[in-house]
């Protein structure tokens, strides 16, 4: 069975067309044999210890999918599906409803179930900055390759608590603490159901939280499409 990580640069398969905010670290590229297929390629310097055997194609509705990997001269290139906005960008541009937050929590729980039960690793770094929302309203967890490369080990509860902290930070922008108890104590608003859910992330399992009454208030799939469009900004054309 061929290895997922190829022993050459990605430029045999992809053509770079846009640099990210940090040139040389992230870029957008398209497949040369299929120009409509665009990916985000992240570049890392490796330690020389080969961990690429842990990498594999990731395809899950709540994970920013890893599509390709390449390595040459101690530089690792990871090709991911492109996303539109981080949750940090989304929440800074619009006030999300509690039903939207319930939907986000539900999707993150499904993503964590896959990470822990199918991949057998812990994310360890779930924040508003590495949760992304697509233009179709899908909620996805980023940086999955780092989890696979380092084989992050940790308790499921550690990642679950991160969901509680994320929701606290959406409700209270500017909150700097990474402790669930302190984050919860800082809340100045939020329904009893939402507060109960956040509190439950300290001890409850993924399965139990998916059955929590707050999750039953989740908005329908696609509820984040309009918020994403509002934050990104649109040019309204005259279609006549």
**Structure tokens, 94:** 């619009």
Give me the pLDDT at residue 235, please: 59
Residue 236 included in any domain = no
| Boundaries of domain holding 210 | 85-231
Domain boundary among 18, 50, 81: 81
Q: Structure pTM? A: 0.92
pLDDT tens-digit series, residues 133-182 = 999 999 999 999 989 988 877 889 999 999 999 999 999 988 877 888 88
Residues 77 and 95 in one domain: no
Strand order across the 66-72 sheet: 5-6, 66-72, 75-81, 34-45, 26-31, 14-19
Which own/partner pairs from 34-40 qualify as long-range (CB within 8 Å, at least 24 positions apart)?
Answer: 38/82, 39/14, 39/67, 39/68, 39/79, 39/80, 39/81, 39/82, 40/79, 40/80, 40/81, 40/82, 40/83
Residues 123 and 60 in one domain: no
**Which stretches of the chain score pLDDT less than 50?**
none
Domain boundary among 81, 111, 137: 81
Residues 148 and 166 in one domain: yes
Residues 44 and 158 in one domain: no
Q: Please count the structural domains in the chain.
A: 2
Residue 23 included in any domain = yes
| Residue at token pair 């509002």 | 230
């Amino acid at each position: 069975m061929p290895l997922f990580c190829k022993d050459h640069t990605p430029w045999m398969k992809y053509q770079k067309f846009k640099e990210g905010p940090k040139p040389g670290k992230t870029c957008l590229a398209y497949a040369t044999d299929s120009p409509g297929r665009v990916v985000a390629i992240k570049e890392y310097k490796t330690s020389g210890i080969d961990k690429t055997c842990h990498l594999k194609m990731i395809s899950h509705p709540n994970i920013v999918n890893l599509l390709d990997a390449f390595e040459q001269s101690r530089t690792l290139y990871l090709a991911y599906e492109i996303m539109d906005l981080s949750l940090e960008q989304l929440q800074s541009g619009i006030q999300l409803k509690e039903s939207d937050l319930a939907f986000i929590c539900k999707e993150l729980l499904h993503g964590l179930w896959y990470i822990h039960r199918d991949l057998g690793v812990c994310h360890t770094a779930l924040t508003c900055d590495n949760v992304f929302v697509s233009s179709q309203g899908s909620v996805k967890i980023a940086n999955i390759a780092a989890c696979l490369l380092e084989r992050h080990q940790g308790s499921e509860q550690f990642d679950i608590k991160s969901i509680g902290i994320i929701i606290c930070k959406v409700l209270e922008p500017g909150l700097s603490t990474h402790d669930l108890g302190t984050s919860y104590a800082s809340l100045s608003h939020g329904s009893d159901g939402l507060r109960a859910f956040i509190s439950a992330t300290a001890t409850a399992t993924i399965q139990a939280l998916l059955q929590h009454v707050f999750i039953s208030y989740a908005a329908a799939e696609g509820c984040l499409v309009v918020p994403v469009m509002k934050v990104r900004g649109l040019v309204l054309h005259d279609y006549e």
